[in-house]
Structure 1
Amino acid sequence: MRKTFAMLFAVLFVSLSSRLDAGDVTIAADVVYGHKLGLAMTCDVFTPAENPNGAAVLFMVSGGWYSSWTPPEQAQYRFRPLTDNGFSVFAVRHGSSPKFSIAEAVADVRRSVRFIRSNAEDFGIDPKRIGVFGLSAGGHLSLMLGTASDEGNSDANDPIDRVSSRVDAVVAYVAPSDLRVMAQDAPERLSAYDRFPALQINVQQAESVSPLVYVTSDDAPTLLLAGAADELVPIEHSRNILAAFEKANVASELIEFNDAGHRFHGEDAQQASEAMVAWFVTHLATSNLKSP
């Protein structure tokens, strides 16, 4: 299972000194957005060589809350639908399970947003036009950024921590929205979750990292993409958070793929990709957003 997620969701790692030419995209590999325990936290940056639209989309490199590295020049094709439409893409890695918890992964990706926003001019992006997307655990982290971010701490010693971690649009594929039903002591926990060290948590711990708990009217516009036949992350996760978004008057939409499970293939994958791009074009393509 771990290898399957690594193949599905692994992507990219980062440092401004290494720039690669991928034809129509410039790649900045292994850009360091923070440190912990003496280690660097990194992302890769994919910038359209021509006609960038000034908006940024972060991709959460996460599956099962594992975060793996792939040579960025090999991963670049994954982001073509976005870079071809002028978006700069940041493939963000977080502290990986089993060493680091889900809560620590959430803190890492919040840090990445603060860093990217702080350096928006250097990246050639608008700090008010930052989106995020991810699949499975990456979708969960995307939802956490959309629902549970903050304006920054003005009293923080680190200037990065004074910057907002809010995002302006979210696309979440097959995303867990309520980890309380996945916790070890959850009455109806699926046995498949025993395979994921990150989910060795209790309901109280799970509540603190459940996007459903944090939904409020100021959340980012969110597109949910889910398979009705998903046996790992049942579609109720997407349906339930959609209902919460609608109750809070958050711009949101759910596209259900009737025959899809936890992965999309063929026409479903194409439709999902087109819907993702359209969502970001609608909500990020022009400078009319409210975030700082």
Structure 2
Amino acid sequence: MYQLFKTVFIGVIFSTGLLAAPLDAIDVKPDVVYGHKDGMALSYDVFKPRKNSNGVGLLFMISGGWVSQWTPPEVAVGFFKPFLNAGYTVITVRHGSSPRYVIPEIAQDVRLALKHVHENTEELGIDSTRIGIFGFSAGGHLSLLLGTTTNDHGDAKTPRVAAVAAVFPPTDLRPYVEVTNPLRERFPALKFDASKVDLYSPLLQVTQDDAPTLLVHGDKDELVPLWHSEKICDAFTEAHVDHELLVIKGAAHGFDADGNKRMFEAMIRWFDTHLATMKSVPAL
């Protein structure tokens, strides 16, 4: 899944003509350390537009198959150009990777990253009440975990995000943690205590106070079938959570140029609606 994620990531840059994103219009702060793990630094990069910043921060979960790797900022910036042009500050989060770490440990990393961002919003130039999150595949799964976090599960100190966009995300991990499922060997991050699977399945964590959530999914996706997004949308409907599902017809686990264009437009529109037009809540 990570190699596919990398192919999709680079493919989006080329297919949508985003490669030439001038760094002179963007402030880049690479390798901000948000924590340490087994003697290693956990870090994120910050991309901030210089002229039109709207004060909104978007966390991007760098994760494919729950593997998170570094990409040179001058390459990565092209992918985020639509968000930067719209005034968003993009924070690209790297987590401890599979196979060394499994999903509960990875979830702990991204929660720590969100907490660090919240604690440093003034330095980052963003509003703590207007933070969104997005990701693809495993990154979408992690985005949904943070969007459905409650004080009843996990770290009670984890801040809430204000909006989520998840692209072809796995939402129910129960089928995948079974020892007979070959995907456990393909994606070792799934080799965690199966008794805890509900806590790490966003579908099973939906509550009425969850963040507004956009799902984008191809109807021909065989790796992460469309039902993952359809079922969590059903749960959002039952819980009265604002949500939307964009189905890309004929698309598998990755989109063509037209599908990528529709995806970006939908995400920008979603974040504009739920974040860019929000009024900041004064600190108490």
Using the TM superposition, give the Cα deviation of residue 290 of structure 1 relative to its aligned residue in structure 2, in angstroms. 7.5
Using the TM superposition, give the Cα deviation of residue 8 of structure 1 relative to its aligned residue in structure 2, in angstroms. 3.5
TM-score normalised per structure 2: 0.89
- What is the aligned-residue RMSD (CA, Å)? 2.4
Using the TM superposition, give the Cα deviation of residue 3 of structure 1 relative to its aligned residue in structure 2, in angstroms. 3.0
Structure 2 segments unaligned to the other structure (5+ residues): 11-21
Query: Comparing 195-204 with 98-107, which one deviates more in the overlay?
Result: 195-204
Please tell me whether residue 274 in structure 1 is matched to residue 265 in structure 2: yes
Cα distance in 2, alignment partners of residues 6 and 51 from structure 1: 29
Using the TM superposition, give the Cα deviation of residue 287 of structure 1 relative to its aligned residue in structure 2, in angstroms. 3.3
Question: 1:168 maps to what in 2?
Answer: 162
Task: Give the partner amino acid of 1:8.
Answer: V
Question: 2:172 maps to what in 1?
Answer: 178
Using the TM superposition, give the Cα deviation of residue 193 of structure 1 relative to its aligned residue in structure 2, in angstroms. 5.0
Question: 1:157 maps to what in 2?
Answer: none
Using the TM superposition, give the Cα deviation of residue 182 of structure 1 relative to its aligned residue in structure 2, in angstroms. 1.4
Give 3-state SS (helix, strand or coil) of 1:179's partner.
coil
TM-score normalised per structure 1: 0.87
Query: Comparing 191-200 with 71-80, which one deviates more in the overlay?
Result: 191-200
Task: Give the partner amino acid of 2:264.
Answer: S
Cα distance in 2, alignment partners of residues 64 and 131 from structure 1: 22
Please tell me whether residue 198 in structure 1 is matched to residue 189 in structure 2: yes
Question: 2:47 maps to what in 1?
Answer: 46
Cα distance in 2, alignment partners of residues 124 and 5 from structure 1: 30
Aligned length: 272
Mapping of residues 57-96 of structure 1, within 5 Å? 57-96=58-97
Question: 2:212 maps to what in 1?
Answer: 221
Q: Is the 8 A contact 2:2 2:66 kept in 1?
A: no
Please tell me whether residue 230 in structure 1 is matched to residue 224 in structure 2: no
Cα distance in 2, alignment partners of residues 254 and 39 from structure 1: 38
Question: 2:18 maps to what in 1?
Answer: none
Residue 209 (structure 1) aligned to one of 200, 222, 226: 200
Cα separation, partners in 2 of 1:281 and 1:233, compared to 1, 3 Å: same
Task: Give the partner amino acid of 1:122.
Answer: E
Using the TM superposition, give the Cα deviation of residue 152 of structure 1 relative to its aligned residue in structure 2, in angstroms. 11
Task: Give the partner amino acid of 1:129.
Answer: R
Task: Give the partner amino acid of 1:179.
Answer: L
Cα separation, partners in 2 of 1:289 and 1:141, compared to 1, 3 Å: farther
Cα separation, partners in 2 of 1:233 and 1:37, compared to 1, 3 Å: same
Q: Is the 8 A contact 1:215 1:245 kept in 2?
A: yes
Q: Percent identity?
A: 46
Task: Give the partner amino acid of 2:163.
Answer: A
Cα distance in 2, alignment partners of residues 151 and 281 from structure 1: 30
Q: Is the 8 A contact 1:59 1:90 kept in 2?
A: yes
Cα separation, partners in 2 of 1:97 and 1:217, compared to 1, 3 Å: same
Residue 261 (structure 1) aligned to one of 243, 252, 267: 252
